Structures are given as structure tokens and as C-alpha cells.
Amino acid sequence: MHVLISYDISDHKVRKKFFSYLREKGLHSQKSVFECDLEPEDIKQVHSFAQELDLEPQDSIVLYPLCKRCSSKASILGQGIRLEETNWIVIWLKNCTSCFTI
């Protein structure tokens, strides 16, 4: 499943730790954004790893799971990079309101 992960982490050490972890999972497409092709178990692992970080109250990490149909509708302007994958897994699709829940 295509997962867009964005984060806003104030502490440099914590941000670097999360960045290094995500770099092994997917494509670093923007300054604080990764695009990953993850299996459901991998999504849960990312979620667990993020929960273990020492985040400040103002910090945030957001995982946006996207089905193939929604992901294919992405509009890229400028130097954006498209993550392409042919083996998609849709866990749940009903009007794209809840493709996956953790």
C-alpha cells in the first residue's frame, strides 16, 4: 500500500532518528515527507516506532495510507518524484473513506 508519511519534529536528534528509519522504508520526496510502499505489518511497525520517539507536544507525525486509485490521482508540480509500484494491496476500499486503519 502506498503510504505518505509527513512529520514535523522539533528536536534535531529525534528528527534525524526518524528520518534515518524512514530512509530505509521509502522515498524521501520532500523535506519532511516520505512516500513508501508498505505491507500492512510494515505500517504497524512504522506506527510503533513513531510512538516510541520522544516527541514534544508540538510535534506531529502523520501516516496517510492511499489506495492505488487515490495514489494514481496525485498531481505533481515542479520536481516531484512519483513512487511507482505494480504490486498494490488494497486492504479496504469503500469510497476511499477508510482504506486502512491502524
What domains appear along the chain, each with residue ranges and CATH number?
Answer: 1-102 (3.30.70.240)
Q: How confident is the model at residue 17 (pLDDT cuts 50, 70, 90)?
A: very high
- pLDDT at 82 (0 to 100): 59
Cα(98)–Cα(83) distance, integer angstroms? 21
Q: How confident is the model at residue 87 (pLDDT cuts 50, 70, 90)?
A: very low
pLDDT tens digits, 50-80:
999 999 999 999 999 888 777 777 777 776 6
What is the value of pTM for the model shown?
A: 0.73
Classify 98 in phi/psi space as left (phi over 0), alpha (psi -120 to 50) or beta.
beta
